[in-house]
């Protein structure tokens, strides 16, 4: 079975500086570093044309044997995916471009390797550093070794710090004489880190997300919304991240910001915010409630002049998922078919349309969609599981067994479950 290394990285549009940096990191450093270990190195734009966070991407983030995260630029999607990776405890190597001025993490806690491809010698140094990191996991295994980041209710700490700072400033005489009073106030010797968190809630928020401390991140979000009220792009990105984790207040904030600023938001921000809101309603089983709230945003977004066909497919797919969750399968088919017509080579959209047809008892059409995404190369265990189910339903046992064999190599546990449920040997 080929091992996967998933690259968590800002991508950007074709030709942009962000894309050029991502491509150079991939081709000049990551692939040369990992080829000796026989990893298949995968980046998001290799598996999903939309470039947005989807269930398939999160599955790769969480199941790949190794992840590499480029935190250069503080991209919110990167921190969201990094947080989802850290949930698993599996290894993730963190990189940042050498000239990055400010990395929003405490690098004494999270190991960060600076990269530089300005010369062959610089790139080779980074390749060696990465191999040294990977050698540890080759020796000890890839099962359980996360970054170890942990925060203890950071938002409450921030409020407590702010309440006490005034009294400390009055009592202190400056210099080292203030240190004992701060230690006494907080009951800890870690006052420096806590003061930094209070002074920079944006960094604290991203650290909380990366460490999986959603309670702290939720508590910090109102402060961020107030501090960056003039930057709705930033705030809606952070609200969308938390909404995707199922945070109700973050979802409400994201909706309010979309109502006020949707037409002026960058396209990627709008796509990720809408995707996160829809994910919130899906995981809370409230799709019926979401449709009248989200459909107007999507219909309006589809009129934007900066959309290409993949963007239009993305928005139709998102709405199709909502209708499917609401059990309005006819409406789901209309939207999902529009997505497939716009992006016929996207396996995730074909899979979703097959689910719609199956739910609407149109088995022959569901089978056709399965054939199409299998021919393109299924990208997730869910797609293969569905293929096993459909092929068995229509009597194509050999095809079902082939799909099951592929599933075993991708997700052995799910394959065992499907095998026992379907009675396949």
Per-residue pLDDT at 102: 54
Q: For residue 54, what pLDDT is reported?
A: 65
Domains of the chain, start order: 3-140 (3.40.50.450), 154-200 (no CATH)
DSSP secondary structure string, 27-76? IIIIHHHHGGGTEEEEEGGGT-TT-S--HHHHHHHHHSSEEEEE-GGG-H
pLDDT of residue 150: 34
391 contacts 380 by C-beta, under 8 angstroms = no
Could you tell me which residue, 390 or 160, shows the higher pLDDT? 390
Q: Quick one: pLDDT at residue 287? A: 93
Nearest to 149 by CA among 221, 71, 73: 71
Q: Which residues are 3's β-sheet partners?
A: 39
CB atoms within 10 A of CB 157: 21
Q: How far is CA 394 from the centre of its chain?
A: 36
DSSP, residue by residue, 249-317: HHHHHHHHHHHHHGGGS-HHHHHHHHHHHHHHHHHTT-HHHHHHHHHHHHHHHTT-TT--HHHHHHHHH
Q: Is the pLDDT of residue 402 over 90?
A: yes
pLDDT tens readout for residues 46-58: 765 544 556 678 8
Contact residues for 21 (Cβ-Cβ < 8 A; gap 6+): 10, 72, 97
pLDDT band at 370 (very low <50, low <70, confident <90, very high): very high
pLDDT surpassing 60 at residue 367: yes
**Lowest-pLDDT range of 52-66, 306-320, 350-364:** 52-66
What distances in angstroms separate CA 234 from CA 93, 205, 264, 293, one per listed residue? Answer: 26, 12, 13, 22
């Amino acid at each position: 079975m080929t091992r996967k290394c998933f690259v968590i990285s800002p991508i950007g549009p074709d030709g942009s500086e962000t894309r050029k940096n991502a491509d150079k990191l991939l081709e000049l450093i990551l692939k040369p570093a990992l080829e000796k270990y026989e990893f298949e190195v995968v980046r998001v734009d290799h598996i999903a044309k939309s470039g947005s966070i989807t269930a398939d991407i999160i599955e790769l983030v969480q199941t790949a044997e190794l992840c590499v995260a480029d935190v250069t630029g503080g991209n919110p999607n990167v921190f969201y995916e990094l947080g989802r990776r850290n949930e698993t405890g599996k290894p993730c190597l963190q990189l940042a471009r050498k000239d990055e001025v400010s990395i929003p993490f405490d690098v004494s806690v999270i190991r960060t390797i600076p990269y530089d491809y300005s010369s062959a010698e610089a790139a080779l140094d980074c390749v060696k550093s990465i191999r040294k990191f990977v050698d540890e996991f080759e020796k000890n295994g890839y099962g359980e070794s996360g970054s170890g980041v942990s925060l203890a209710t950071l938002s409450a700490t921030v409020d407590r710090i702010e309440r006490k700072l005034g009294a400390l400033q009055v009592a202190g005489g400056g210099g080292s004489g203030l240190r004992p009073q701060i230690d006494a106030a907080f009951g800890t010797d870690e006052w420096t880190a806590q003061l930094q968190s209070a002074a920079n809630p944006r960094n604290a928020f991203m650290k909380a997300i990366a460490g999986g401390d959603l309670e702290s991140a939720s508590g910090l979000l109102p402060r961020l919304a107030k501090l960056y009220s003039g930057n709705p792009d930033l705030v809606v990105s952070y609200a969308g991240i938390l909404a995707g984790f199922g945070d109700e207040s973050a979802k409400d904030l994201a909706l309010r910001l979309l109502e006020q600023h949707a037409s002026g938001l960058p396209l990627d921000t709008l796509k990720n915010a809408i995707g996160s809101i829809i994910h919130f309603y899906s995981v809370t089983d409230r799709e019926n409630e979401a449709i009248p709230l989200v459909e107007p945003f999507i219909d309006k977004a589809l009129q934007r002049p900066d959309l290409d066909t993949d963007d239009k497919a993305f928005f139709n797919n998102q709405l199709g998922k909502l209708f499917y969750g609401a059990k309005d399968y006819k409406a789901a088919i209309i939207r999902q078919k529009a997505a497939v017509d716009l992006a016929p080579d996207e396996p995730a959209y074909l899979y979703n349309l097959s689910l719609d047809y199956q739910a609407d008892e149109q088995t022959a059409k569901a089978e056709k969609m399965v054939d199409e995404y299998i021919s393109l190369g299924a990208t997730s265990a869910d797609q293969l599981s569905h293929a096993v189910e459909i092929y068995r339903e229509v009597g194509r046992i050999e095809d079902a067994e082939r799909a099951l064999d592929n599933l075993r190599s991708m997700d052995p546990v799910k394959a065992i479950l499907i095998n026992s449920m379907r009675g396949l040997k």
